[in-house]
Amino acid sequence: MRTTRLLFVVALLFLGLGSQALAENLIASPETCLECHEDVISADEFAASVHGPNGCVACHIELTALDLHMEGELMPAPVKCVRCHKKETAEHYASVHKLNEIECASCHSEIHSQQPWKGDKRIASAKCSECHDDAYEQYQGSVHGKAVEAGSMDSAACIDCHNLHDIKEIGDPNDRETRAFHTDVCLKCHADEELMEKSGVTHMAVETYLNSYHGKNFELGYPELVAGCADCHTSHSILPHDDPKSSLNPENLIARCGQCHENSSAQFVKFYSHGNMHDNEKYPILYYTYVAMTGLLLGTFAVFWIHTLLWLFRGFVENREKKRALIAGHHHVIPDAHKIYRRFSRVHIFLHLLVITSFLLLSLTGIPLKFAVQPWAHAMMDFYGGASVAAALHRVGAMITGVYFGCALFMSAKFLFKDLQSPADFVRRLFGPESLCPNLRDIQDVTNMVRWFLFLGPKPTFERWTYWEKFDFIAVFWGMFAIGGSGLMLWFPEFFGSFLPGWVFNVATIIHSDEALLATGFIFTVHFFNTHGRPEKFPMDFVIFNGELPKEEFIEERGDQWKRYEEAGVLEDYVKEKPSGIPYDFFIKGFGFLAVFTGCALLFLMIYAFVTSGFH
């Protein structure tokens, strides 16, 4: 039969009775080719394949003359799949397979009998197993592999993580791109809430990871510094935590965490890797910590922002009243109104400079981590030189905080106990007018201030310390306990994890994050207004920078302190004969303006983050 057909074709060509088109059509016919190549595949099998409708010369395009081919003078070149499969070829061209000379036919070996692929991941994974048998064996025993084998095409297979054709090279395990890959591929599926719900898997894994210290550094673009998904769950052998072979089995956790935390312990591994502070059933401690911190944050802001708005309005009214009084000629002239008195010593000024420096350093390096999803956070981290540099700077700020807090404790102890005569003397010092400890007078001051806000009474005068200044001072102690204590735990987790259960780090993270948000929000709004932004001080009060207080301002704002000093005959002890020099003023005021500007810029970024991405 084959000989008859070939003789017929040759006869047509020889006699010129058939056209060139007819000859080419016969050559393109699979039946024609299979007369000689029947050992490759049968005509029926080829016709049923995905390439069957195309014919042989659709791929072997060089075969334009049958006689030359039969004589061995015209042989087909390697098939170029790119003619039809441009997208796939482009992806493959940039893949690690192409770099290792693995071509299309290496995977698509049954090219002549290739059947349409209907998305069955089992077929694709089986093909991968031909070369990657070790990884495939681990995958087959995993939760993903078992689900796919059971027919769930929603579960992850090789192609979901490594792609079909655009297969990237897995480089150095510590390389940034490789580290990112080992987390990105997991987030792709596990961030799909609908898919996770359909598969009976918690959809909170991604959210809780991205809200963690590890996840935030990953979001900022520094996955090489923190643990990613595969570091804990492994790449292929992902098993239920109750499986003895699972990396997350309680018996294996210490070793797994020990990859990064060398001194891991049984207590340390009680950390909730995916603890959800919104779930009061599974994580009640985290939930109630979050509720308490949120209540503290909202309550503090509500009280002080209302206080600020009332003061802002009343201050504008007061300024207008003063202007009208000046126009009418009713201004009360104080003799030597511009005489300078000392309110703060050099030690006070120095300590406040430390407070400003440390607070801004902590804010500049902490806020980008808090709002890691924001593009500006990425830009700030890159500007610092990376998350590791920012972390080092953050700890420098923490150490400066420890220095000024230690000085504050020493000065407080000296004030309370030096030359102490009796218990009664201690009480007088603790609740006296020179003390920053709240007392009954502060209740009266708050009442009088609110009455003034509401136009129900005159503007009150104060003693050496106002109630809002005392609040700022007391807040330092609370802040050191909350932010400092939690920060210290997060700085040295292995040490604290040796005797405390790991979930305390979840609690510490919530407290540290929310208390830092409270501190920055309070300082950049309430404190800035109370000291610099109120109408009678705007744009800035420099008393904390130079320690100088004019007599007129002294009497108007702290009249009760003035009277007490006057009655005690000590006013002259506080006279400052020589104001600060110009170079000092220039430097210190420039620093003050820069600090306020920086704080306002950070406040703007925080507000922008809340508006665009919500609270995290």
In the listed set 25, 46, 77, which residue is the last one of a domain according to the structure? 77
How many domains, the chain?
Answer: 3
Residue 548: strand pairing partners: 342
Clarify whether residues 452 and 351 are in a common domain. Answer: yes
Q: What are the DSSP E strand ranges found in 322-425? A: 340-342
Q: Is the pLDDT of residue 512 over 50?
A: yes
Q: Is the pLDDT of residue 21 over 50?
A: no
Confirm whether 487 is domain-assigned: yes
Confirm whether 71 is domain-assigned: yes
Residue 331 pLDDT class (50, 70, 90 cuts): low
Collapse the DSSP code of 549 into the 3-class scheme (helix H, G, I; strand E, B; otherwise coil) and give the result.
strand
Asked if residues 51 and 58 have their Cβ atoms less than 8 Å apart, the reply is yes
Confirm whether 83 is domain-assigned: no
In 523-578, where does DSSP find H-type helix? 528, 543-546, 551-557, 559-568
Clarify whether residues 430 and 571 are in a common domain. Answer: yes
- CA separation for the pair 479, 484 (Å, rounded): 7
Residue 557 pLDDT class (50, 70, 90 cuts): very high
From the CA atom positions of the chain, what is the Rg in Å? Answer: 38
Asked if residues 95 and 167 have their Cβ atoms less than 8 Å apart, the reply is yes
Clarify whether residues 250 and 364 are in a common domain. Answer: no
Clarify whether residues 372 and 290 are in a common domain. Answer: yes
Clarify whether residues 470 and 520 are in a common domain. Answer: yes
Confirm whether 163 is domain-assigned: no
CATH, residue 369:
1.20.950.20
DSSP secondary structure string, 283-305? -HHHHHHHHHHHHHHHHHHHHHH
Q: What is the pLDDT of residues 223-268, one digit of tens each?
A: 999 999 999 999 999 999 999 999 999 999 999 999 999 989 999 9
Q: Is the pLDDT of residue 338 over 50?
A: yes
- Which has the higher per-residue pLDDT, 48 or 11? 48
In the listed set 225, 260, 295, which residue is the last one of a domain according to the structure? 260
Domain that holds residue 244: 175-260
pLDDT score of 226: 95
- CA separation for the pair 207, 203 (Å, rounded): 8
Longest dimension (CA), the chain: 136
| 117 phi-psi bin (left φ>0, alpha ψ -120 to 50, beta other) | beta
Clarify whether residues 479 and 540 are in a common domain. Answer: yes
Collapse the DSSP code of 435 into the 3-class scheme (helix H, G, I; strand E, B; otherwise coil) and give the result.
coil
- CA separation for the pair 196, 189 (Å, rounded): 8
Clarify whether residues 465 and 599 are in a common domain. Answer: yes
Residues in the chain: 616
The mean pLDDT value of the chain amounts to: 90
The highest-confidence range among 313-327, 331-345, 591-605, by mean pLDDT, is: 591-605
Q: Is the pLDDT of residue 577 over 90?
A: no
Clarify whether residues 435 and 505 are in a common domain. Answer: yes
The residues near 190 (Cβ < 8 Å, ≥ 6 apart) are 196, 201, 203, 205, 206
Task: Record the tokens describing residue 16, joined without a space.
Answer: 């010129």
Q: Is the pLDDT of residue 184 over 90?
A: yes
Query: Which helix (DSSP H) or strand (DSSP E) does residue 348 occupy?
Result: helix 346-370
pLDDT score of 327: 80
Query: Which helix (DSSP H) or strand (DSSP E) does residue 550 occupy?
Result: strand 548-550
pLDDT score of 615: 52
Asked if residues 178 and 172 have their Cβ atoms less than 8 Å apart, the reply is yes
- CA separation for the pair 509, 54 (Å, rounded): 63
Clarify whether residues 248 and 183 are in a common domain. Answer: yes
Sole residue written with tokens 């499969």:
85
Q: What is the pLDDT of residues 113-144, one digit of tens each?
A: 888 888 899 989 999 999 999 999 999 999 99
Confirm whether 233 is domain-assigned: yes
In the listed set 44, 77, 110, which residue is the last one of a domain according to the structure? 77
Clarify whether residues 213 and 343 are in a common domain. Answer: no
- CA separation for the pair 508, 487 (Å, rounded): 7
Q: What percent of the chain has pLDDT over 70?
A: 94
Task: Record the tokens describing residue 430, joined without a space.
Answer: 């603790």
Clarify whether residues 198 and 303 are in a common domain. Answer: no
Confirm whether 112 is domain-assigned: no
Confirm whether 113 is domain-assigned: no
pLDDT score of 334: 84
Closest CA to 238 of 279, 185, 276: 185
Amino acid letter for position 106: S
Residue 478 pLDDT class (50, 70, 90 cuts): very high
pLDDT score of 65: 83
Residue 28 pLDDT class (50, 70, 90 cuts): low
Confirm whether 96 is domain-assigned: no
Least confident of 12-21, 141-150, 161-170, 564-573: 12-21
Clarify whether residues 344 and 398 are in a common domain. Answer: yes
Whether residue 539 is preceded by a cis peptide bond, meaning omega within 30 degrees of 0, is: yes
